[in-house]
Amino acid sequence: MLTLSQVNKRYPTGDRALTDIDLSLPRGQVMALIGPSGAGKSTLIRCVNRLVEPSSGSICLGDTELTWLSGRQLRRTRRSMGMIFQEYALVDRLTVMENVLSGRLGQVGFWRSFLRCYPADAVTEAFRLLERVGLPDGIDKRADALSGGQRQRVGIARALLQDPQLLLVDEPTASLDPKTSRQIMRLIRELCAERDLGAIINIHDVALARQFADRIVGLRAGEIVFDGSPEALDAETLTTIYGEEEWDTQADNEQPAAPQDNVTPLAHQPVLSRVLSGGVSR
């Protein structure tokens, strides 16, 4: 589904962020990118959706060569790539529903988005997604009233409202406590399985990567130094990726995963009238 061939990124200073990256991500696979800070993980993700311009190489999503696109074609193709950010990227003064519906900004006209007048099918799908991510009773809450885990769930629902072919996830658990981190990673994995979505997740937590990813890619100084299954990620490999550490001891001390989230969907709450303006009703 996604193929990167000989992708390089060199900054004007001469520093190389990525060197000859070759990766292929099939549909439905959850791939974790691990590596020390500055290894190129975020740069790789941002090269895929062209938030960072690769210096050379080829990036293809299906039959579309992403590195050749510009203008309207690039904006249209970005709709097929849902991005989930470390810092959530929500608009604090807007409600949960309005933030989720912003996932359709690229598909509605300027005035409809300015007036927050979204199509009925978008509102219906937003309701469904908020129930799926465990926030059916938070529709009218402002984003700045949410916890970190709730904000990340809103970001996930917003990305899925785009109906993407691919999820790009940048450190989704960096600001979360251990229990919430496992819940968020479990949710992302379940949603990818339900929708047959491929995902690339930049993550610092090796234990979470081992637990929830189908495949792990290790980066060091912009180069791939490991590409394999979680089971193959042994202490020697972790030393290659990160440097010397007591990896065997750390693995022995890892805590078991928390049980499945116990989220009982509640009845849909009425959406704000401003969201439903233009005749959309629930």
196/136: higher pLDDT: 196
Read out DSSP for the chain?
-EEEEEEEEE-TTS-EEEEEEEEEE-TT-EEEEE-STTSSHHHHHHHHTTSS--SEEEEEETTEEGGG--HHHHHHHHTTEEEE-TT----TTSBHHHHHHGGGGGGS-HHHHHTT---HHHHHHHHHHHHHTT-TT-TTSBGGGS-HHHHHHHHHHHHHHT--SEEEEE-TTTTS-HHHHHHHHHHHHHHHHHHT-EEEEE-S-HHHHHHH-SEEEEEETTEEEEEE-GGG--HHHHHHHH-S--HHHHHHHPPPPPPPP---PPPPPPPPTTTTTTT---
Q: pTM of the predicted model, to two decimals?
A: 0.82
Q: Residue 181: pLDDT above 60?
A: yes
Structural domains of the chain ordered from first start: 2-253 (3.40.50.300)
For residue 8, is pLDDT > 90? Answer: yes
Residue 272 has pLDDT above 70, yes or no: no
- Tell whether the model's pLDDT for residue 243 goes beyond 90: no
Per-residue pLDDT tens digits for 185-237:
999 999 999 999 999 999 999 999 999 999 999 999 999 999 999 999 999 99
Question: What distance in Å separates the CA atoms of residue 45 and residue 34, rounded to the nearest whole number?
Answer: 12
Count other Cβ atoms within 10 Å, centred on residue 55: 14
pLDDT in tens, 85-132: 877 788 888 899 999 998 887 666 554 655 566 778 888 999 999 999
